[in-house]
Amino acid sequence: MPTLGELRDYGARLTIYCHTINPRRCGNSWSPSMDQMVQYFGVDFDPGERRPEFLRRFVCEKCGQRDIATTWHPPANTPGLLTGQGSHDHGPPNPVEVARIRAEYEQGKAIAEMHKANADRMRQEALAAEKARKKLQRDLETGRQIIGPPNPWAGRKKGRWL
């Protein structure tokens, strides 16, 4: 963690939250200026390294408690802020991660295509079975023999005995 002087020069902003829950949530927050922080702690103070010492110095103006949390913000003009991309920079994409996500996507696509092919095949089979069932029913209704020897009367002419 950089020192307070570096943070000030960078343009970082600090917000302090009151974390006091008892007797009831205070919820107070304030943003001291970095000049003020440097004045209190010194230019070389490292708020990350000496965090307990840093936090101990704050007292909530509203409830007087010392249960404090801090949040550091990048400078107001940081690219990526208020652009719908989130408030922090993710940096260039990690090629390994990108490859993994792409592989997962391809795998998911292959599985989806397999499922679709399976569904198509099952629908074709169901249609074929339904067609066969209808043909069988039609054959039975019209008296056509489909099992056993061919019907000897099948080719006879109408109106003749034999």
The footprint of Zn ion (CB under 5 A) covers: 18, 20, 26, 28, 60, 62-63
Nearer to Zn ion, 28 or 78 (CB): 28
State the minimum distance, in angstroms, from the CB of residue 55 to Zn ion: 14
Strands 68-73 and 29-30, bridge-based pairing: unpaired
State the minimum distance, in angstroms, from the CB of residue 70 to Zn ion: 14
Q: Torsions phi, psi of 68, nearest 5?
A: -125, 140
Q: Torsions phi, psi of 120, nearest 5?
A: -60, -45
State the minimum distance, in angstroms, from the CB of residue 88 to Zn ion: 27
- Sign for the CA dihedral angle at 100, 101, 103, 108 comes to positive
Nearer to Zn ion, 21 or 99 (CB): 21
State the minimum distance, in angstroms, from the CB of residue 108 to Zn ion: 49
Nearer to Zn ion, 16 or 26 (CB): 26
Nearer to Zn ion, 19 or 73 (CB): 19
Nearer to Zn ion, 34 or 68 (CB): 68
- Distance in angstroms (rounded) separating the CA atoms of residues 79 and 89: 8
State the minimum distance, in angstroms, from the CB of residue 24 to Zn ion: 10
Site of tokens 């056993």: 148
Among 45, 49, 39, which residue's Cα sits nearest to residue 4?
A: 45
Strands, DSSP E only, in the chain? 13-18, 29-30, 68-73
